[in-house]
Amino acid sequence: MRVWFLSAGLALMCMAQNAAAGTVLIVGDSISAGFGLDTRLGWVSLLEQRLKQEGFDDKVVNASISGDTSAGGQARLPALLAEHRPELVILELGGNDGLRGMPPTQLQQNLAAMIDSSRQSGAKVLLLGMQLPPNYGKRYTDAFAEVYGKLADDKKIPLVPFFLDGVGGHPELMQADGLHPAAGAQGKLLENVWPTLKPLL
């Protein structure tokens, strides 16, 4: 009987550990897809390493696609939610909307729909804010940047105000195209996200 109880206890412990382990789904564009990099050096891979180092069992699913827009992310999200059933969804989209000059109102609508879909599936949401270079004009860049703060306030979700803080505008941390963070910037991207992400796990 003692052996049976020990076996049952171990089984329950394993079940509890598995139940505690969740899935983090990242829906983003080239920045999270690791464009131009060995993906093992990207911030998402560094996140996986950080989770293990700090004792988290969460699985990370990187569903980021280079060149994706908020509309593309919205179209892909329902299938991703159904397949992976994440506990946390990280939205890193909008940069390509801005570079293409798409209306900020459309960006806001698409991201709002993604937030709502994620929550309806039972997931928490973390929004990563983006900003555009000043050459796009102050009126447009201000309207674009304001989308993220408005959504965070309206939807009551955590926000990283500027995902590329300390990276954008620093040529030594960017690839030759001036748009994509270099390998040396990936640790900084993780540090920008981690303090807001960790309490959600």
| The length of the chain, given as a count of residues | 201
Query: Hey, which residues does 89 pair with through a beta bridge?
Result: 25, 125
Greatest Cα-to-Cα distance within the chain, rounded to the nearest angstrom: 75
Catalytic sites, residue numbers: 30, 177, 180
Helix spans in the chain (H): 2-20, 30-33, 43-53, 70-84, 95-99, 104-120, 138-155, 186-197
Strands of the sheet containing 124-128, edge to edge, are 59-62, 23-28, 88-92, 124-128, 159-160
